[in-house]
Structure 1
Amino acid sequence: MDAVRLAAERARKSSYALSSISLESRNAALEAIAQALEANSQAIIEANQADLQAAAEMKIPAALIKRLKYGEEKIRESTTSIRSIMQQEDVVGKVIARTELDQDLILDKVSCPIGVIGVVFESRPDALVQISCLCLKSGNAVLLKGGSEAKRTNRILAELIEKAITAVDARFEGTVQLLSTREEFQSLLQHDDLIDLIIPRGSNELVKSIMESTRIPVMGHAAGICHTYVDKKADLAMAVKVCFDAKVQYPAVCNATETLLIHTDIAAQFLPLIVEEYRQAGVEMRGDERVQAICPMAAASEEDWSAEYNDMIIAIKIVDSLWAAIEHINKYSSHHTDAIITADEAAAEEFMADVDSSSTVWNASTRFADGYRYGLGAEVGISTNKTHARGPVGLEGLVIYKYKLRGKGQTVAEYSGKEAKQYTHRKLL
């Protein structure tokens, strides 16, 4: 039997054990991970430095190198996130609904783990920590494949996590496993009898490739093409501040704004303000003809409206109405996160209702679309799917449900025929 199949079987066995491990043990395992990161921070940083050096020699883009870095600050962020996850309410075993079918025949709808999850991610070692901890807390086993550019960092993190959690409870063995090569992950996609869900975090091409290569359900987003629309009734000072943050604060992530839409009535006032801010920050701007007539810049092509730059580049377009902005977004957006800046509450509500995205935002940066910022503790990724989970996927997105029926000897035959018993179907919860 090949190594990938064995790993998947170990994960499946672990997933069955996890369903009965107490919340206290799961939280103790999370604390053990946080302490392991703190105690071994120097070794982690040394491994990451080796990855960074190799990436620089390979001339990997600067934006990806920034995401690859995992130093003291990132380790602190990881441990803070882990302890935040520990404080989250338990999502396993919650009674979602309770129905009396008849006297002494009670049906519960109860949350339960999904089971075994395969996750592939690029560049960011902190994703390995987040995903592992979210899966552990929600009672799921996980098989991880990180990018080769982070192989040393991912390896030491996975080893530390496995050692930390199995020291707490031997039943955690197999809960977190790291796959080494792309070929191993491709092999994993064939084991649909053992893997319940695939979550890809990476490029559009990566996600599409996985969706086309497996019968396992895939949850994720193929791109992060986010928009910010500055309405005719926007506070311009607020708009400058928010639009700057949405592009510049961290451009290499999926929730950074890629296209700026501006209402024609305020374009002449607003454009010079935001263009100057972007120019000082080193943002490359590409505008349509009406934008160029106000502020000279490179011309935007049709391809720019559907581009995910993940870099200090932004496309800018003037629109004639709120509805024109909504239509543009619904046509070109990846349905990730889109924002409106306006003082008009009715316009904001219309925008948030009609824009078909997993997150819609009023008077705030698209960068807020994040599991930690949404109070989910952390996230395994952001889903643009319309089934099961949507938006930043935290603990609640990693559980499904099952039905538990409790009776006292009832049979279906008793509810058939002329003198049959009648169901009460009374909602208890």
Structure 2
Amino acid sequence: MTVLEQTTRARAAALELAGATRAVKDRGLHAMADALGKAETAVLEANAADVARAEAAGTTAALVDRLRLTPDRVAGMVEGLRDLAVLPDPVGDVVRGWTNPNGVQVRQVRVPLGVVGIIYEARPNVTADAGGICLKSGNAALLRGSSSAAASNAAVVEALRDGLVEAGLPADAVQLVPGPRSVTDELMAARGQVDVLIPRGGAGLIEHVVRSSQVPVIETGVGNCHLVVDASADPAMALEILLNAKVQRPSVCNAVETLLVHADAAATFLPLALPALAAAGVTVHGDGRVAAFGEVVPATPEDWETEYLALDLAAAVVDDLDAALAHIRRWSTGHSETLVTASQSAAVRFTAEVDAAAVLVNASSRFVDGGELGFGAEVGISTQKLHARGPMGLAEMTSTKYVLTGSGQTRP
């Protein structure tokens, strides 16, 4: 099937979904969850084949971790679909409304985007998340996964489509877009057929889509995320947050990649942090001021811009909060930035001055996630400033239109 044929089918499915009630869409989500649960063995077998190919090709451990599915991760995908069914339906919500002096009623209401193309690397859990979010928000999904997860994605999409049919919904509401790399270019050229593209993956993929697409793009970004330990920070709290943000799952975009320690806190904090990080298997790429407190790999300029997605951490001692903010302005990708402090004035200043999709005070950046924020699953984390910013849940997958209702008024 050609990309044009798939987009045509997707537009027909989107038209049907646009008028579907919440009850109908929720029934579809539960049916998709049931079908995916029943297909667990087939999904895991397909994923094992993908993982074996990746490992044989020398893929890094971090990327293999993103690719790998386990029974718990499949169960999480199933539960994510059911969680979406519990959430309110954004379609039809009135964003604002008023009545003009002439009696014309004006309402701005949420509507589906239409046909959403999602281009992503590895992470087959995105397949279920994206399919579910698009369904609940009334959109048809065209899913262009990477070749590394081809078998996994095919097995997941087959289950999701079975669920849609069982619920009496169009199977073409969720389609996998296979084929060579040229297919991605066809999707990016399908203006008028695809309403929006969302790239999710490494910097190279995102940059290519943003620069080359003729279809409007919602840009997701890589996560060069910083954690700042302020002079007033409680060392134990700071260490617990750091270890969670770096070690709990290092291969994801909301993991911390750079540690900045206030000079007044360095002598207390770094003798605690460096051994704890080493014990957790983290390699610290530190500047000379960090090296004064323990063994580190000498940091290079490239370390400050690197999203490691692994058990590596860049670290520097900064003179004050001004220096930390300057470092973040220079190197941040606008994803998630964290401050650990006991100072209310420092917290206020940090949240006001840091330009990122998420700013955290005394909490791990691992909370920057659709599920953790109560959105259910997420399509990705947008680092742009138009329409959607931060974790993209149901509301972010809608647009709006104005509905004007009168009683025969005409404009003089």
In the other structure, the counterpart of 1:421 is: none
Q: 1:72-221, aligned counterparts within 5 Å?
A: 72-170=71-169, 172-181=170-179, 182-221=181-220
The 2-side partners of 1:368 and 1:97 are apart by 30
Q: 1:49-68, aligned counterparts within 5 Å?
A: 49-68=48-67
CA shift at 1:232, angstroms?
0.4
In the other structure, the counterpart of 1:238 is: 237
Deviations, residues 235-270 of structure 1 (Å, cap 9, x unaligned): 000111111111111111100000000000010111
The 2-side partners of 1:103 and 1:353 are apart by 41
Indicate the SS of the match to 2:310: coil
Amino acid at match of 1:238: M
The 1-side partners of 2:387 and 2:115 are apart by 16
The 2-side partners of 1:409 and 1:336 are apart by 49
User: Does the alignment pair 1:409 with 2:408?
Assistant: yes
TM-score, with structure 2 as normaliser: 0.98
The answer to whether the 8 A contact 1:282-1:312 is kept is: yes
After superposition, the CA RMSD in angstroms is 1.1
CA shift at 1:103, angstroms?
5.0
Indicate the SS of the match to 2:276: helix
Indicate the SS of the match to 1:387: coil
The 2-side partners of 1:330 and 1:120 are apart by 28
Deviations, residues 158-189 of structure 1 (Å, cap 9, x unaligned): 1111121122124x232111011332122111
Indicate the SS of the match to 1:275: helix
The 1-side partners of 2:79 and 2:289 are apart by 46
Aligned residues: 411
Q: Where does structure 2 lack aligned partners over 5 or more consecutive residues?
A: none
CA shift at 1:221, angstroms?
2.6
In the other structure, the counterpart of 2:372 is: 373
Amino acid at match of 1:130: D
Amino acid at match of 1:39: K
In our comparison, the structure showing a higher alpha carbon Rg is: 1
The answer to whether the 8 A contact 2:227-2:337 is kept is: yes
Indicate the SS of the match to 1:142: strand
In the other structure, the counterpart of 2:252 is: 253
The 1-side partners of 2:120 and 2:88 are apart by 27
TM-score, with structure 1 as normaliser: 0.94
Is 50-59 or 203-212 further displaced after alignment? 50-59
User: Does the alignment pair 1:286 with 2:285?
Assistant: yes
User: Does the alignment pair 1:358 with 2:390?
Assistant: no
The answer to whether the 8 A contact 1:26-1:137 is kept is: yes
The answer to whether the 8 A contact 1:208-1:222 is kept is: no
Amino acid at match of 2:279: Q
% identical aligned pairs: 38
The answer to whether the 8 A contact 2:257-2:306 is kept is: yes
Is 215-224 or 238-247 further displaced after alignment? 215-224
The answer to whether the 8 A contact 1:205-1:222 is kept is: no
CA shift at 1:58, angstroms?
1.3
- Which stretches of structure 1, 4 residues or longer, exceed 4 Å deviation after superposition? none
The 2-side partners of 1:354 and 1:295 are apart by 32
CA shift at 1:201, angstroms?
0.7
